[in-house]
Chain A
Amino acid sequence: MAFKRNIDRLPIPPRDAKVHNVTCHFCIVGCGYKAYSWPVGGQGGTAPNQNAFGVNLAQQQPADSPAWYSPSMYNIVKQNGRDVNIVIKPDHECSVNSGLGSIRGARMAETSYSATTGTLSARLTDPQVWRYGGMVPSSWDDAIGLVAEVTRRVVAEQGEDGLIVSAFDHGGAGGGYENTWATGKLYFESMKVKNIRIHNRPAYNSEVHGSRDMGVGELNNCYEDAQLADTLFVVGANSLETQTNYFLNHWVPNLRGNTLDLKRREMPNEPHAAARIVVVDPRRTVTVAACEAEAGRENVLHLAINSGTDLALFNALLTEIAAKGWLDRAFIAASTSGFDAAVTANRTTLEQAAQITGLTVAQIRQAAEWIAQPKAGGARRRTMFAYEKGLIWGNDNYRTNQSLVNIALATGNIGRPGGGCVRLGGHQEGYSRPADGHVGRPAAYVDQLLIGNRGGVHHVWACDHFKTTLNASEFKRAYKRRTDLVKAAMDSVPAGDRAAQIDAIMGAIRQGGLFSVDVDIVPTQIGACAHVVLPAATSGEMNLTSMNGERRMRLVERYMDPPGQALPDCMIVAKLAQGLERAWRSAGNAAVADKFKGYDWRSEEDAFEDGYRKHERGGEHVTYARLRAMGTNGFQEPATGVQNDRIVGTKRLFADGRFNKPDGKAVFASTQWRGLQAEGKQAEKEKFRFLINNGRANHVWQSAYLDQHDEFLRDRFPLPFIEINPADMAELGLAQGDLVEVYNDNGATQAMAWPTPSAKRRETFMLFAFPTGVQGNVTSKGVNEFIIPNYKQTWANLRKIADAPEGVRHLSFKRQDYRPVT
């Protein structure tokens, strides 16, 4: 049987329920929600004057009702120490999602900590310290004291390079402006740490250096542009699953032709039609199927390229568009430099590109027409370019990114309605930190330092490399070996003898050991190696600001208490900084101790005032009070002023034709094709039989850090899936649900087989970053010149491990894509 909750009625929020603004803390889209809360023991009624929605709830509600909430949107949580009912439901007034909730965000209530209903009972509630052979609850003072003194001793012996840091840099849960500022202030201002990496990659770098170096910030349009475009050109993104409500609420209406009135109003002097879409993806995704269902197959061009050959395609498109003269010459002259040189350097014929990409010449020519052939009457075609991990974590990231921006610039599609050249994003954004220039470029390959016995102490902020790094098999072996050395040393002296503990730890570090400090909201796999675990609060348990993929900034109001002693990350930073100040002062080094002043924040709002308000462009206009008043719509960054106490934002970047270069001109880039760029990839491709393409699934948010504790999700995916062509399955002797080992020279992992007729032969797709089968185990350490990982181009062999286990036999392995019934 499928998992069923057997819930057949729900409590009703009363008329006087408290209402808090919520932005979903999962993906970059940042859907608006409202949290309704009221004390346990009270309830509203079905009559319109008895409930928070003013609706007769004794009746069946119609489709898309603002007055309905599912069991996953309900829970009992604590608010100021008292139990309250809570309903967290999508907000129909938010322009981002217009009331839509995804399978991920609409479970925010169910995936909240509740001591009463038992949901997320796995949440960390207390600081923990390794004692007596296990992790034991402790106090903040005890745990912070240990971390501070070990950190100080390591820095004293090895310098600041001995402190290795892994830290989030994004928005939403495990991030936000308050928390990125705090961690940044600690590591980049009080210290100058350079051995630091980000949650999903082994160095401290931008995933889109390529675009930025051309002067083009990567989140430069607004979601409305997807409603205005003539053509959507989408690269390496499966937006129905990974930016769900952006796709459903903004792309689909345009594909259906429902935005024609808006187009005529916004852009009155040109012809308009429903959008066409080009999807560049080796795999036929549910996104492609949905586009065909909505726009008709004749308006969807799926370019199923050979994996990793995007760059050759883009160079050919630029060549073709330039040859046809479908250029925005006025824009090129006024706002760019280097066009002619780039066209010459990147010249690629349609035939050459067809040979490399596996496409036909006709397909590439058609893509060029859809991007740039002028509309009737000569009007410029408006094309929105969007990309995500297929490009970012794909072959030759930097050049490929630039080759796509080249096309957008050549056709005048940045800063204009219906345009943009944007990453689609994973998490929301929320970066506010002191200058990071000392980190250098290329930045240190931190995983290789950790594997190579470098450093003595590792601070981990909401990262789980055991699930989300490349070369994970080797990384885990090395990390466990190094941290076990320290555990053994700690076990060798009484836990209560702090001086002896510190000496033992330092002795182990000198022998190649590593002291690991893990700050997170739930137990993680890397956290199992930690010596100190610190419990953090998440979005909604603290006030938190972030921006979404159109730079829309909102404040999530605190609507519930954090579990136990958990604190916002910024307040943990404050404790740690103050601990380091004390440690250095006790050691007699007042000069260093003084660097850790300035953390006397009483709340996350103080961290916001210290960071975003003082340091970000337009930050002086932004306050919690103003954000609270602007609800789930907020404003689009950067803020430019305040009118009638409402923050005035910026709809599109670069609308004035001036880019992020000293002369204001975006720079075209030379981006020659050079095959599989990362070291060892070509040899791996030749040696192993199957492409192990990989990415996200609709049901699962990120590394399933919350989902793994949710019964609905755990029932659906006890194991990661791997999509395999049925003929390949037959050759391997596999039936649906069978356990498969994926193995190559980098390591091995497991998944359950999902027969997928649309999968190309020898091209599989595995769920990424899943706790019960880590795809990164088989991804090599090869990176680009700026240490960007290359997850997508992974090759391995497959073999059957076992028949489908009991936990998957009740599951469905039917095809996932929607097809209209005719």
Chain B
Amino acid sequence: MTACNRLAEGGRRFFLSRGAVAAAGAAVAATAVPLADAQAEPAPARLTYATTRLANISELKVNEPLSITYPDADSPGVIIKLGTRVVGGAGPDGDIVAYSTMCPHKGFPLVYRADDRTLNCPGHYSRFDAEKSGLQIWGQSTANLAQFRLAVGANGDITATGVDELIYGRISNVLA
């Protein structure tokens, strides 16, 4: 089974469970979060992301997506060597990109179309361009697709270092 097919299969499984909703927590009286101690260290302005090895460049084949997760195991994504240089592409050829594969509209899993290098949502038909930093070609998301920032080491290891949009289903890209 190719990576593309695995993504599609994963998409179907996930999609079939679309009715699932988060279990509601117990009804407890409202409690405000206490303000931070005035003496505490100031928090950094931005989230601190894990630097995570996603793959080695030798594992990538042109236009064949590889499933990854980032910034943690609950956040599926995909890394693709497009074969042509793109804005925001990483690696010696400037053609490696990585994206979240949870649709930023409703969280259904995106499926990669190799024929036009797009990520597609079977839930509500949104389409994102993998060659245009995740621009939504058409769809219901109010954001373009979250892209993972990449760095490529001398040994060909590809690491993710951050994310440029809020990932679906999180109030913080880095979960507590």
> A residues touching B (Cβ–Cβ < 8 Å)?
1-10, 12, 14-16, 42-50, 53-73, 92, 100-103, 106-107, 110, 240, 244, 248, 286, 289-290, 293, 698, 712, 716, 810-812, 814-821
Judge if B61 is at the interface, Cβ distance under 8 Å.
Answer: no
Given A2-B144, A63-B18, A818-B125, the answer on whether A55 and B135 have CB atoms closer than 8 Å is no
A50 touches B164 (CB 8 A): no
Contact sample, A vs B, 9 pairs, CB 8 Å cutoff: A8-B172, A44-B32, A60-B75, A64-B21, A71-B142, A101-B142, A240-B125, A818-B127, A819-B120
Count how many chain B residues have C-beta atoms less than 8 Å from C-beta atoms of the other chain: 76
Q: Complex Cα distance A73/B106, Å?
A: 13
Q: Complex Cα distance A167/B47, Å?
A: 49
Q: Complex Cα distance A144/B131, Å?
A: 54
Inside 8 A of B144's CB, which chain A residues have their CB?
Answer: 2-4, 712
B22, B105, B120, B129: the one within 8 Å of A55 (CB):
B22
B28, B112, B141, B164: the one within 8 Å of A103 (CB):
B141
Q: Complex Cα distance A698/B135, Å?
A: 15
One digit per residue, 1 when the CB lies within 8 angstroms of any chain A CB and 0 when it does not, for chain B 18-32 equals: 111111111111111
Q: Complex Cα distance A3/B135, Å?
A: 8
Give the Cβ gap from B167 to chain A, nearest Cβ, in Å. 8
A62 touches B132 (CB 8 A): no
B147 touches A4 (CB 8 A): yes
A49, A101, A812: the one within 8 Å of B129 (CB):
A812
B133 touches A1 (CB 8 A): yes
A42, A101, A286, A712: the one within 8 Å of B138 (CB):
A286
A6, A59, A244: the one within 8 Å of B140 (CB):
A244
Q: Complex Cα distance A55/B23, Å?
A: 7
Inside 8 A of B93's CB, which chain A residues have their CB?
Answer: none
Inside 8 A of B140's CB, which chain A residues have their CB?
Answer: 100-103, 106, 244, 698
B118 touches A814 (CB 8 A): yes
A6, A9, A106: the one within 8 Å of B171 (CB):
A9
A7, A290, A816: the one within 8 Å of B137 (CB):
A816
Interface of A is mostly: loop
B32 touches A1 (CB 8 A): no
Given A14-B30, A46-B171, the answer on whether A7 and B165 have CB atoms closer than 8 Å is yes
Judge if B136 is at the interface, Cβ distance under 8 Å.
Answer: yes
B25 touches A10 (CB 8 A): no
A68 touches B168 (CB 8 A): yes
One digit per residue, 1 when the CB lies within 8 angstroms of any chain A CB and 0 when it does not, for chain B 98-115 equals: 000010111111011100
Given A46-B176, A60-B175, the answer on whether A818 and B116 have CB atoms closer than 8 Å is no
A66 touches B21 (CB 8 A): yes
A63 touches B22 (CB 8 A): no
B176 touches A62 (CB 8 A): no
Judge if B41 is at the interface, Cβ distance under 8 Å.
Answer: no
A820 touches B122 (CB 8 A): yes
Given A244-B140, A810-B132, the answer on whether A9 and B21 have CB atoms closer than 8 Å is no
9 nearest A-B residue pairs (beta carbon): A48-B25, A15-B30, A49-B28, A818-B125, A2-B135, A61-B169, A63-B107, A72-B142, A9-B172
Judge if B38 is at the interface, Cβ distance under 8 Å.
Answer: no
Q: Complex Cα distance A143/B104, Å?
A: 46
Given A3-B144, A4-B165, A8-B47, the answer on whether A814 and B8 have CB atoms closer than 8 Å is no
Q: Complex Cα distance A106/B105, Å?
A: 9
Judge if B166 is at the interface, Cβ distance under 8 Å.
Answer: yes
Give the Cβ gap from B125 to chain A, nearest Cβ, in Å. 3
B22 touches A61 (CB 8 A): yes
Residue of A2, A14, A48 contacting most chain B CB atoms (<10 Å): A2
Inside 8 A of B116's CB, which chain A residues have their CB?
Answer: 814-815
Inside 8 A of B155's CB, which chain A residues have their CB?
Answer: none
Give the Cβ gap from B103 to chain A, nearest Cβ, in Å. 8
Q: Complex Cα distance A240/B127, Å?
A: 14
Inside 8 A of B168's CB, which chain A residues have their CB?
Answer: 61, 68
Give the Cβ gap from B107 to chain A, nearest Cβ, in Å. 4
A110 touches B142 (CB 8 A): yes
Inside 8 A of A2's CB, which chain B residues have their CB?
Answer: 129, 132-136, 144
Q: Complex Cα distance A7/B104, Å?
A: 13
- Which residue in chain A gives the minimum CB-CB distance to B116? A814
Given A8-B163, A45-B33, A49-B26, the answer on whether A68 and B132 have CB atoms closer than 8 Å is no
Q: Complex Cα distance A73/B129, Å?
A: 23
A293 touches B22 (CB 8 A): no
B25, B47, B135: the one within 8 Å of A56 (CB):
B25
Q: Complex Cα distance A248/B139, Å?
A: 12
B164 touches A100 (CB 8 A): no
Given A61-B169, A66-B21, A248-B124, the answer on whether A48 and B28 have CB atoms closer than 8 Å is yes
B176 touches A1 (CB 8 A): no
Give the Cβ gap from B144 to chain A, nearest Cβ, in Å. 4
Q: Complex Cα distance A106/B140, Å?
A: 9
Give the Cβ gap from B33 to chain A, nearest Cβ, in Å. 4
A63, A716, A815, A816: the one within 8 Å of B20 (CB):
A63
Interface of B is mostly: loop
B22 touches A65 (CB 8 A): yes
Q: Complex Cα distance A61/B23, Å?
A: 10
Inside 8 A of B88's CB, which chain A residues have their CB?
Answer: 1
A48 touches B142 (CB 8 A): no
Q: Complex Cα distance A9/B169, Å?
A: 11
Query: Beyond A59-B175, A62-B22, A70-B142: 6 further Cβ-contacts under 8 Å?
Result: A15-B29, A60-B175, A65-B21, A103-B140, A289-B125, A821-B113
A64 touches B19 (CB 8 A): yes
Judge if B91 is at the interface, Cβ distance under 8 Å.
Answer: no
A293 touches B25 (CB 8 A): no
Inside 8 A of A818's CB, which chain B residues have their CB?
Answer: 120-121, 125-127, 138
Give the Cβ gap from A752 to chain B, nearest Cβ, in Å. 14
Given A7-B165, A46-B171, A64-B106, the answer on whether A814 and B137 have CB atoms closer than 8 Å is yes
Give the Cβ gap from A498 to chain B, nearest Cβ, in Å. 48
Judge if B74 is at the interface, Cβ distance under 8 Å.
Answer: yes
Q: Complex Cα distance A9/B23, Å?
A: 22
Q: Complex Cα distance A43/B34, Å?
A: 9
Judge if B123 is at the interface, Cβ distance under 8 Å.
Answer: yes
B170 touches A60 (CB 8 A): yes
B23, B108, B137, B143: the one within 8 Å of A71 (CB):
B143
Judge if B173 is at the interface, Cβ distance under 8 Å.
Answer: yes
Give the Cβ gap from B25 to chain A, nearest Cβ, in Å. 2
B121, B135, B171: the one within 8 Å of A812 (CB):
B135
Give the Cβ gap from A410 to chain B, nearest Cβ, in Å. 35
Q: Complex Cα distance A818/B135, Å?
A: 15
- Which residue in chain B gives the minimum CB-CB distance to A45? B33
Give the Cβ gap from B176 to chain A, nearest Cβ, in Å. 4
Judge if B87 is at the interface, Cβ distance under 8 Å.
Answer: yes
B17 touches A63 (CB 8 A): yes
Inside 8 A of A67's CB, which chain B residues have their CB?
Answer: 22
Inside 8 A of B27's CB, which chain A residues have their CB?
Answer: 54
B20 touches A5 (CB 8 A): no
Given A4-B133, A16-B30, the answer on whether A72 and B164 have CB atoms closer than 8 Å is no
- Which residue in chain B gives the minimum CB-CB distance to A813? B137
Inside 8 A of A65's CB, which chain B residues have their CB?
Answer: 21-22, 107, 169
Q: Complex Cα distance A384/B170, Å?
A: 40
B132 touches A811 (CB 8 A): yes
A42 touches B21 (CB 8 A): no
Give the Cβ gap from A768 to chain B, nearest Cβ, in Å. 17
Q: Complex Cα distance A3/B116, Å?
A: 21
A63 touches B122 (CB 8 A): no
- Which residue in chain B gives the minimum CB-CB distance to A6? B164
Give the Cβ gap from B132 to chain A, nearest Cβ, in Å. 5
A62 touches B137 (CB 8 A): no
- Which residue in chain A gives the minimum CB-CB distance to B4? A821
Inside 8 A of A69's CB, which chain B residues have their CB?
Answer: 171
Give the Cβ gap from A481 to chain B, nearest Cβ, in Å. 41
A61 touches B166 (CB 8 A): no
Inside 8 A of B47's CB, which chain A residues have their CB?
Answer: 8-9
- Which residue in chain B gives the minimum CB-CB distance to A109? B142
A821 touches B111 (CB 8 A): yes
B165 touches A57 (CB 8 A): no
- Which residue in chain A gives the minimum CB-CB distance to B47? A8
